Chain A
Amino acid sequence: MLEYIPRSSLLHRLHPLTKLAWAVSVMILSLIFNDPWFLALLILGVVIIGFIGKVGKETLVYLSALIVVAAFVFVFQILFRPGGDVIFTVFPVSWPVVGGWLPVTVEGLRYGFAMSLRMIALVSTLPILLSTTQPRDIVMALVDTLHVPYDYAFMFTTALRFMPVILSEVNTISQAQRSRAYAVEGWNPIRKLQAFGPIALPIVFIAIEKADRLGLSMELRGYGSKKRTYLRMLKLGFIDWFILGLLVFILILSTWAMAKGIGRISLTGT
């Protein structure tokens, strides 16, 4: 899902730096605003841009996977946020000892909603960035334009590159263990933790082996012997400058809005 998808779109043609700047801007915006409406609008904007980049469907699949995580954030914020107007308690007040525990408050609900939306907004650009930009172009943008040391840029993109590979290995391992009657059932956390080993241990071994082989084959192909040159250089075009300018404008506008208190709500009390 977080792999490059070769399609022809405006987003694919943009300079990787422009897309990185956009991703960082969305992150900043999602931290500036905490009004659920603003955050929802921000996410909607990201999805629309995903569709412009012809990866809208993939973006939606990714976001719907995130909703599961966001739901956890939501529930935890509601349950463990102290103070506020109590709507009801998870343990009814009439119960002995535990009665009145885990109150659900108006503030908790609002805060949980905002935080889970913020979490989604923060990482929503990732699938679009990665599916419209070739990893080597990200490396080049980082190294050539931002002067990040090549080793770090390479590490970053390799980690991204290997994510789908590792996920597919995890799937195979899980199938192999299920064929040996491996099953995680019930909600017992200790059993869940124990169930981790049969999947985690093989994947760690396989990952180390892969890293080892990758290192070897890189060295065999002359990694780190001389300063790198590039076959294909990317230049920021007019549209890139235009979008970068637009991003700067939006950020300035948002900072001003933040100072004015627009798009921010009080989450702690009414």
Chain B
Amino acid sequence: MAKGFANLVEPFFLLAICSSSLVELSQSLLHLKQFVFSLHALSDEEWNRFSSIWQEGEAKRKTILTAKGETEKTLYFVTEGVQRAYYLTADDKEATIVFTYPFSFSGIADSFLTQTPSNYFFETLTQSTFLKTTHAQVAELLDQFPNLERFVSRATAHALKGALQRQVELQTYSAEKKFTTLLTRSPQVLRLIPHKYLASYLGIDAATFSKLLSTVRI
């Protein structure tokens, strides 16, 4: 009697183990769906096809995923951790130009969209996990589904809007205003990211950043 029962239980047990990683994948895809639909609604068929091209991936802290000169073949959707894109100057100084963290797309966007060599480095700043897909797979879907192409348009316009706003802030805001704007938008960054990267991103030198940190705190 007990043996018969065990035979019934075992397959469910095995299924539970296999499905835990499936659960992770489906949770990540849920976040992806939420993000996509917040910009543009897709039909069931479009979403089914779009969600089928993603795989899970991860990388350790300070892993360079794309180097300057390489063409970005991968689109990332971040589920854990912080990443940055940076520009390397002629005298080897790094200028951090964007941070990405959950839940959003990542990678070198302009290189991906134009399929031309990247001007920037893309690296993880902490242990990171993400969904990833290839340009070839995305391009195939965009050819088939005009509505997906529309989504990509919207997402790109959104990114452009952000880039212009940031340009305004960099050119017109005082160091203090840049600092408080960043921290109001993303208060968690002070604890997640080494401050040197934040200072670089804001175009503030380390000493000023440190001073601002101590004055803003109560």
A, B: real partners: no
